[in-house]
Amino acid sequence: MTTALEHDFARPWAKRRVRTYAWCAAFTTTIAVGSIIGVGVGLIPMVPATGTIACFLFMTPVFIMFITSWIDTPGEARTKLEKANEFQMLWFCIAGAASELWWEVIWLVGDLMGKMHITQGQRWGWVIWYYGINDVRYLNSDGALWAMELAVVTGAAILLYSWSKLRKAGNDPDKRIRPLWWTFFTMAVMLTVFFIYFIAEARHGFPNFPRHGFWDVSIVLIYENLPWMIAPIVSLPFVAKQLGYLYGRKALEADRASTRAGAVRGTGTPVSTRG
């Protein structure tokens, strides 16, 4: 039994890519925090255009990071599975810490408390309001939407936990397999929720999406949600391939151990049962 190609999932990320990730994260954070504070204190107008522009600015770095993760630096020769692993690790962190576990949690708790009926005069609620005027369920309190968001937030917490485990797992199949299975099932569930979110609306002609302007639809509803569709679709087959590779590694190691034990027995040398 042989392994055709070895993959090093513990390989340090190239410094050039890490710098790109850091700059993108810093830019996105600055735009997100700056726009919230700017609107809150009255420096930036609380109008739909503000949300559209801010949305474009803080989502674009996410796509830059996605693309960067697949590009080797000069002299580097990663396998496709190693590139996919870096892409996935980025996504698990983005989906968890950088999105669902702050925006969605704020909305879930606020909606439960009846505080999400935000109007244009409530400037500090802008980060919810700008999306809510495009999907009014976020401002009107919708039970089905709340359940979907709860499922997504739970999934994000699982992805972030799995990310922390995979960071420490190195190339050990036993340490990687379980968190990878959790990410696989979690992404499958989150992708299903994502499609339910849009298909349920499409079935009745998007009654909760009152703003049908080009920028409202293309940027706020599509561009902002694209990573949550693209990343799982790209990641799922590669997680499956990585699992297949790791199970193959385990079988190969077991086969080698069995062969060594057989060779020792064949020489008549006693096999020690002590460590």
User: Using CA atoms, how far apart are residues 210 and 66, in angstroms rounded to an integer?
Assistant: 31
pLDDT value of position 3: 46
User: Using CA atoms, how far apart are residues 275 and 273, in angstroms rounded to an integer?
Assistant: 7
Q: How far is CA 210 from CA 8, 64, 134, 206, in A?
A: 49, 31, 6, 8
Convert the pLDDT of each residue in 12-26 to its tens digit: 999 999 999 999 999
| Interval 241-247 mean pLDDT | 96
Please state, rounded to an integer, the average pLDDT across all residues of the chain: 89
Residue-wise DSSP of 76-119: ----HHHHHHHHHHHHHHHHIIIIIIIIIHHHHHHHHTT-----
Q: Which amino acid is at 222?
A: I
The residue among 184, 153, 178, 152 whose CA lies nearest residue 166 is: 178
pLDDT value of position 275: 39
Q: How far is CA 208 from CA 29, 63, 133, 221, in A?
A: 29, 28, 9, 12
Convert the pLDDT of each residue in 188-222 to its tens digit: 999 999 999 889 888 888 888 887 778 888 888 88
Whether the per-residue pLDDT at 96 is higher than 80: the answer is no
pTM of the model: 0.87
The residue among 57, 27, 66 whose CA lies nearest residue 228 is: 66
| Interval 26-53 mean pLDDT | 95
Whether the per-residue pLDDT at 168 is higher than 60: the answer is yes
200 or 261: which leads in pLDDT: 200
Tokens of 114: 């009846």
User: For the chain, what are the domain ranges?
Assistant: 15-249
Give the pLDDT band (50/70/90) at residue 117: very high
pLDDT value of position 262: 64
73 or 254: which leads in pLDDT: 73
| Interval 29-42 mean pLDDT | 95
